[in-house]
Amino acid sequence: MFDYRRQRILGRSPRRVLAGALGLPTVLRSLLGVREFRNPLQMARHYLLRKCPPGLYVETRSGLRVRLSGDEDDISTLLLVFGRRDYGQVPKNAVCIDVGAHLGSFSLYAVASGAATVYAYEPDPILFKTLVENVQANRLASQIFPFQAAVVGSKAASVTFYPDGNASGYVSPVPHNRRGILVKALTLTEIVLANQLERVDFLKLDCEGSEYDIIFSTAPEIWNRIERVRVEYHHGRADELKRHFSALGYRLIFGNGRNRRVGLLGFDRPDSTKAEHPAVGAKATT
């Protein structure tokens, strides 16, 4: 019996192809974003076919050499960050926290934009290895500090992380039948206090559903130190996040819904400016 659900079109399921057709403006923005990379035509081809290039390396026009993890969505991730610039502008000399650092796309983008320091957290061992390789290959060890850890809402020494391919994974308090990985756990509060961060210019959260536990469990006095938040939300709870950040004194800058359940929200403090933050020396301790 023919099963249309198993068919692949340009490396995508029929459902994903339909979603792409409905979101054609986003696809076009991604294709225009290939201009930020060397060999843009090859980038466009790999994006459309959902394939990584041979050698698992791409290079930006600014000279960053980015190693890929081998996942079929690596190119899409790079185009989202560097090409479409979905996270927006990162201030000069900014101090950033990258939660769900993946292979380091945002961390590299932040430094290329002029950020002074990025604290990057990624629990997946494959992605963390790739993240470290990207930091070392681009000689950015004095600016990007990678940690293999899951960021969580409640203090714990470790948590079980469930990898989901090379592209993502999640922390779940409910035991699964599938095999998980025990990883170090840190709260946002621990990261801010241990690194003596009086001000965080940019917080990026992309942690596959853990964002709610992190956001709702972090005290207002910590949020008072954070100027900008960019959060990928899951499970369709965007309105919840909007109300919560509004109560904390943030204003909504943008909201990009990729579908009914997943999207990206940007929040800034009303007094946040594009002025450069004074450069600070960084010493990562967590």
- What's residue 171's pLDDT? 80
Position 2 pLDDT exceeds 50: no
- The least confident of 138-147, 170-179, 254-263, 264-273 is 170-179
Q: Are 227 and 201 in contact (CB under 8 A)?
A: yes
Q: Are 136 and 104 in contact (CB under 8 A)?
A: no
Q: Are 206 and 100 in contact (CB under 8 A)?
A: yes
Domain 89-272: give its CATH architecture.
3-Layer(aba) Sandwich (3.40)
- What's residue 167's pLDDT? 59
Reported confidence tier of residue 284, pLDDT bands at 50, 70, 90? confident
pLDDT digits (tens, 9 = 90+) for 101-118: 999 999 999 999 999 999
- What's residue 61's pLDDT? 96
- What's residue 8's pLDDT? 56
Sorted by where each begins, the domain ranges of the chain are 12-86, 89-272
Q: Are 277 and 201 in contact (CB under 8 A)?
A: yes
How far is Cα 283 from Cα 171, in angstroms, rounded to an integer?
28
Which residues, at least 6 apart from 67, have a Cβ–Cβ distance to it below 8 Å?
A: 56, 57, 103, 130, 133, 134, 137
Which tokens in the block code for residue 35?
A: 């201009």
Position 15 pLDDT exceeds 60: no
pLDDT digits (tens, 9 = 90+) for 29-47: 999 999 999 999 999 999 9
210 burial via Cβ count (<10 Å: 0-12, 13-18, 19+): buried
- What's residue 270's pLDDT? 92
pLDDT digits (tens, 9 = 90+) for 148-199: 999 999 999 999 988 876 556 778 766 666 788 899 999 999 999 999 999 9
Q: Are 34 and 66 in contact (CB under 8 A)?
A: no
